[in-house]
Amino acid sequence: MVVVGVDDRSVYLEDPALLGARVVMDRGEFVEAWHDYEAEIPTGPDSPKYYGVGVFIRGDAPAERPAFVAWDVLQAMVPPVLP
């Protein structure tokens, strides 16, 4: 998930695996859900769990936001991997 916005009450997210899918969460719910595991899912009781880990990128907004692209269009734009 990628945080794309925050306001006084909510956190706005996009999931790179689901192009164009946007989620809005209450800030409290977001903080409770913000964790990751150092193991494949399903995890065991001894799997390390990390809270509040992320990468933060800051800068000016682009002059024009790019349009969303459907997954089938994106696949056609990516060149095939050659052996």
- Confirm if 35 and 49 have CB atoms less than 8 A apart: yes
Judge whether 83 lies within some domain: no
Judge whether 59 lies within some domain: yes
Judge whether 39 lies within some domain: yes
Judge whether 37 lies within some domain: yes
Judge whether 21 lies within some domain: yes
- Confirm if 43 and 53 have CB atoms less than 8 A apart: no
Q: What percent of the chain clears pLDDT 70, i.e. is strictly above it?
A: 71
**Range of 12's domain?**
2-77
Judge whether 20 lies within some domain: yes
Judge whether 82 lies within some domain: no
Provide the number of structural domains found in the chain: 1
> Which of these ranges, 51-55, 56-60, 72-76, has the smallest mean pLDDT?
72-76
Judge whether 48 lies within some domain: yes
Strand, coil or helix: 29:
helix
